[in-house]
Amino acid sequence: MTDILDNPIIPDFGDKPAPKADAAAPVPGPAAAPAPAPVAAAGPRKIVFIASKGNLDMAYPALIMANAALGEGVETHIFFTFWGFDLITERTMDDLKFTMLGNTAMHLPMAPKVPIPQLLGALPGVTFATTKFMRKQLDDLEIPSVREMLDIIVASGGHLWGCKLSFDMNGLAEDDLYDGVEGVISASDFIELSEGAQVIFV
């Protein structure tokens, strides 16, 4: 039978150091050993994702990590640029595709060792089939659609931004964009926005 600790172990909830002084009896035990100073960043953590790809498979990294960051109480922004703009364009966002072309890591889950020739991906209908297959895999794992992921991110307090240059290149109007997009901003705006943030390019 192990000893019973009298003080509870409280998970890191990321809140400011406990305001209640009464509960702040010095914590005994090894936990009190001087911890290495937390990484440089001062102030609350902030993450900015740059979503630059419009393929179905490459839509998810930023969305899933952004959603996770919000759940961890981190201020989160996503900046959609170039092909990534398809994720927030009404006309395209529900119809992203997955192609095996140019993806040398392509393999079938049920037969991982069977080589898949690159040229196969160029045949008519193959992108349709691979997209359908990937969507089914995502559904089976209960991964939300791109639109639903964005809905969740916005509801969780995340911020979505479009890139001005991509917006102009695509000849879009504000009405063409997903509702949750807060604004279309320039490169300089983005640099200001990302001050003090961890920036992750996808």
| Beta carbons of 110 and 195 less than 8 angstroms apart | no
Strands 159-163 and 75-80, sheet pairing: parallel
**Which of 156, 157, 192, 161 lies closest to 174, judged by CA?**
161
Q: Does 4 bind another protein (CB under 8 A)?
A: yes
Q: Does 129 bind another protein (CB under 8 A)?
A: no
Q: Is 86 buried (19+), middle (13-18) or exposed (0-12) by CB count in 10 A?
A: buried
Q: Does 35 bind another protein (CB under 8 A)?
A: no
Q: Of 71 and 129, which CB lies nearer to another protein in the complex structure? A: 71
Q: Does 183 bind another protein (CB under 8 A)?
A: no
Q: Does 24 bind another protein (CB under 8 A)?
A: no
Residue 119, CA atoms < 13 Å, CB-side half-sphere: 0
| Beta carbons of 176 and 89 less than 8 angstroms apart | yes
Q: Does 28 bind another protein (CB under 8 A)?
A: no
Given 24, 27, 68, 191, the residue binding another protein (CB under 8 A): 68
Given 155, 169, 187, 191, the residue binding another protein (CB under 8 A): 155
- Smallest gap from Cβ 150 to another protein, in A, equals 12
Q: Which window, 35-43, 126-134, 136-144, 161-169, contacts another protein (CB under 8 A)?
A: 136-144
| Beta carbons of 108 and 193 less than 8 angstroms apart | no
Q: Of 3 and 94, which CB lies nearer to another protein in the complex structure? A: 3
Task: Report d(CA 169, CA 30) in Å as an integer.
Answer: 58
Given 24, 72, 198, 201, the residue binding another protein (CB under 8 A): 72
Residues touching another protein: how many (CB under 8 A)? 29
Task: Report d(CA 1, CA 190) in Å as an integer.
Answer: 57
Q: Which window, 50-58, 69-77, 96-104, 109-117, contacts another protein (CB under 8 A)?
A: 69-77
| Beta carbons of 86 and 93 less than 8 angstroms apart | yes
Q: Of 8 and 115, which CB lies nearer to another protein in the complex structure? A: 8
Give, rounded to a whole angstrom, the gap between the first and last alpha carbons of the chain.
Answer: 50
Q: Of 3 and 195, which CB lies nearer to another protein in the complex structure? A: 3
Residues forming a β-bridge with 199 = 48
Q: Which positions lie near another protein, rule CB under 8 A?
A: 2-15, 18, 64, 67-68, 71-73, 142-144, 149, 152, 155-157
